[in-house]
C-alpha cells in the first residue's frame, strides 16, 4: 500500500516538475516550490563550502573529464560519454568511463563492469547505462557511487590516461580537469524551478565558474540563417556563458537491433547503422515502450522515421522490467493489432533476451553528431596538453 502511494506521489511530482505553472497559495505545487527553495539554499551552501575549502575535493593521478548537466536527466550524458570515449581512443588515449551505476545492486565500493573486451556484470548489478556502455566493448567501464574510489580502481586495474565521469558535474568530491556541461536545446532549463518543483539541480549562476565547455544537445540541424530561431532559454544561456566555448550537437537515431518474429535476431554492423535501415519502420503499426528520462523525445524520433504509433507505454527513467510488464506489453500489442514493437537500446539491455515476441521488434540507439566535430576535437586536444 505504502509503495503504491509513494509511486503515485512520485508520478505526480514528475508530471508537475515538467510543466510551466504558477502555484496557487497552499496548493500541492506551492508546497513543492517551498521545498525547492530549501533545496536551492542547501545546494548553494554545499557549493560555497567546497569553494571556500570547508569541504575538500580529492584528486586522481589522471586527467579527469566530467560530463554533466544542471537539469535532472534527459540531456544525453551517456551518449555523449560514449562519443567522447570513442574520440579519445581515436586520439590515441586510453579512456575509462566511470558511472554512478544508478539503480544497480553492486553495493558499496566500486566494480569493473567491463574492460573493453569482456563484460563482467549484469544490467541488474551494474545499472542499465553502465551495462549498455560495457556491452559495446569499445572501452572499459567502472561503477561506483564514490567516483574517487571508482577512479582508484580504474587506475589500478585498467591503467587509463583519461577518466570520463558520466553525470559527474555535481560530484564535487572529485577534482576534474575539464567540466563539460550539457543542455537540451529545446528546453534547457525546464520550468526554471529547482527540484522538486522543477528539474534544476542548480541554477546557471551556481554552475558558471567551474565550466570549461557548453554543449547544446538535440539541436535542430538548421542552416546558419536559421540560428536566430533558437528559443528564448537557449539564447539566454548562450549569453550567460558567452565567455565559454559552446558547441552544438545532434542526436541521431540508429537501428541497434532488429528481431524478426520469424527469424533469429540480427544486429546491424556499424557501417550500415544509418537512416536507410529504418525503412522497415515506415508505415508500420507499432507499440512503443520506453523508460528513459525523455520518453516524449523518443516517440518524436520514431514518428519522424515514418512509424505509425498506436500506443506508447511510458515508464520512469531506469525502470526495471518484470515479467508482468513484458506480458502487459505483449497483450497491448495483440489487442491493438500492432505489427511491431519499438524500444530503446537502454531499455533493451534490461530485458531477458529469450523472450518470444509474436511481432517484429526494433531497438533504437542514439549516436551523437557535432555541428563542427573538428572544432570540438581541437578544443579537447588543447585542454589535454600538459
Q: Are 76 and 223 found together in one domain? A: yes
Q: Are 167 and 285 found together in one domain? A: no
What gap in Å lies between CA 237 and CA 214, rounded to an integer?
Answer: 10
Task: Kindly tell me the sign of the dihedral angle through the C-alpha atoms of 86, 91, 96, 100.
Answer: negative
Task: Let me know if residue 39 belongs to a domain.
Answer: no
pTM of the model: 0.91
Task: Let me know if residue 40 belongs to a domain.
Answer: no
Task: Output the DSSP codes for 117-149.
Answer: S-B-S-HHHH-HHHHHHHHT-SS-EEEESSHHH
Give the residue numbers spanning the domain of 322. 253-366
Looking at the chain, the whole-number percentage of residues with pLDDT higher than 90 is 67
Q: Are 265 and 151 found together in one domain? A: no
What gap in Å lies between CA 255 and CA 366, rounded to an integer?
Answer: 9
Q: How many domains does the chain have?
A: 2
Q: Are 172 and 297 found together in one domain? A: no
User: What is the structure's pLDDT at 263?
Assistant: 58
Task: Let me know if residue 36 belongs to a domain.
Answer: no
Task: Let me know if residue 121 belongs to a domain.
Answer: yes
pLDDT of residue 348 exceeding 60, the answer is yes
Task: Let me know if residue 209 belongs to a domain.
Answer: yes
Check residues 293 and 98 and name the one with the higher pLDDT: 98
Q: Is 230 helix (H, G, I), strand (E, B) or coil?
A: coil
Strands 246-259 and 360-370, how do they pair?
Answer: antiparallel
Q: Could you tell me the CATH number of the domain that includes residue 354?
A: 3.40.50
Q: Are 270 and 225 found together in one domain? A: no
Q: Are 246 and 213 in contact (CB under 8 A)?
A: yes
Q: Calculate the CA dihedral of residues 220, 318, 123, 217 and round it to 10 degrees.
A: 20
Q: Are 181 and 281 found together in one domain? A: no
Q: Are 362 and 277 found together in one domain? A: yes
Q: Are 258 and 235 found together in one domain? A: no
Q: Are 238 and 259 found together in one domain? A: no
Q: What is the CA radius of gyration of the chain?
A: 21
Task: Let me know if residue 3 belongs to a domain.
Answer: no
Helix axes 77-90, 373-384, angle to 10 degrees: 70
9-34 pLDDT tens trace = 888 888 888 899 999 998 999 999 99
Nearest Cα residue to 220 out of 212, 228, 211, 208:
228
Q: Are 323 and 210 found together in one domain? A: no
Cell of 126: 551494474
Q: Name the percent of the chain in helix, strand, coil, to the closest 5.
A: 40, 25, 40
Q: Is 222 helix (H, G, I), strand (E, B) or coil?
A: coil
Q: Are 226 and 277 found together in one domain? A: no
Residue owning grid cell 574492460: 115
Q: Are 339 and 277 found together in one domain? A: yes
267-281 pLDDT tens trace = 544 443 444 568 888
Task: Let me know if residue 321 belongs to a domain.
Answer: yes
pLDDT of residue 7 exceeding 50, the answer is yes
Task: Output the DSSP codes for 257-315.
Answer: EEE-TTS--EEPPGGG-SGGGGGGGTT-EEEEEE-STTHHHHHHHHHHTT-EEEEEEE-
100-130 pLDDT tens trace = 998 889 988 999 999 999 999 999 999 999 9
Task: Output the DSSP codes for 93-117.
Answer: --EEEEE--TT----SSEEEEE-SS
pLDDT of residue 358 exceeding 60, the answer is yes
Amino acid at each position: 500500500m505504502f509503495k503504491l502511494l509513494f509511486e503515485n506521489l512520485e508520478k505526480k511530482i514528475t508530471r508537475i516538475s515538467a510543466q510551466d505553472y504558477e502555484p496557487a497559495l497552499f496548493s500541492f505545487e506551492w508546497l513543492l516550490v517551498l521545498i525547492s527553495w530549501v533545496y536551492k539554499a542547501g545546494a548553494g551552501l554545499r557549493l560555497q563550502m567546497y569553494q571556500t575549502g570547508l569541504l575538500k575535493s580529492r584528486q586522481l593521478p589522471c586527467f579527469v573529464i566530467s560530463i554533466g548537466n544542471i537539469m535532472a536527466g534527459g540531456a544525453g550524458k551517456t551518449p555523449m560519454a560514449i562519443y567522447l570515449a570513442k574520440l579519445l581512443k581515436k586520439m590515441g588515449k586510453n579512456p575509462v568511463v566511470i558511472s554512478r551505476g544508478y539503480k544497480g545492486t553492486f553495493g558499496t565500493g566500486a566494480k569493473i563492469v567491463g574492460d573493453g573486451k569482456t563484460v563482467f556484470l549484469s544490467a541488474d548489478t551494474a545499472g542499465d547505462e553502465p551495462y549498455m556502455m560495457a556491452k559495446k566493448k569499445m572501452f572499459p567501464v567502472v561503477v561506483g557511487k564514490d567516483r574517487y574510489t571508482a577512479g582508484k580502481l580504474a587506475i589500478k586495474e585498467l591503467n587509463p590516461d583519461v577518466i570520463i565521469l558520466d553525470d559527474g558535474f555535481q560530484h564535487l568530491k572529485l577534482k576534474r580537469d575539464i567540466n563539460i556541461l550539457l543542455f537540451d536545446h529545446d528546453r534547457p532549463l525546464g520550468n526554471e524551478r529547482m527540484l522538486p518543483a522543477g528539474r534544476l539541480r542548480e541554477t546557471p549562476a551556481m554552475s558558471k565558474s567551474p565550466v570549461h565547455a557548453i554543449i547544446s544537445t538535440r539541436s535542430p540541424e538548421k542552416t546558419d540563417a536559421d540560428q536566430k530561431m533558437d528559443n528564448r532559454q537557449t539564447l539566454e544561456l548562450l549569453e550567460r556563458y558567452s565567455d565559454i566555448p559552446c558547441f552544438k550537437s545532434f542526436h541521431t537515431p540508429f537501428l541497434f537491433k532488429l528481431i524478426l518474429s520469424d527469424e533469429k535476431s540480427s544486429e546491424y554492423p556499424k557501417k550500415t547503422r544509418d537512416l536507410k535501415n529504418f525503412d522497415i519502420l515506415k508505415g508500420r503499426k507499432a507499440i512503443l515502450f520506453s523508460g528513459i528520462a525523455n520518453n516524449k523525445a523518443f516517440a518524436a524520433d520514431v514518428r519522424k522515421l515514418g512509424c505509425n504509433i498506436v500506443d506508447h507505454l511510458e515508464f520512469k527513467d531506469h525502470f526495471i522490467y518484470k515479467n508482468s510488464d513484458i506480458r502487459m506489453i505483449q497483450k497491448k500489442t495483440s489487442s491493438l493489432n500492432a505489427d511491431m514493437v519499438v524500444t530503446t537500446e537502454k531499455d533493451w539491455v534490461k530485458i531477458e533476451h529469450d523472450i518470444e515476441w509474436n511481432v517484429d521488434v526494433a531497438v533504437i540507439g542514439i549516436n551523437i553528431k557535432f555541428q563542427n566535430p573538428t572544432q570540438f576535437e581541437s578544443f579537447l586536444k588543447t585542454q589535454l596538453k600538459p
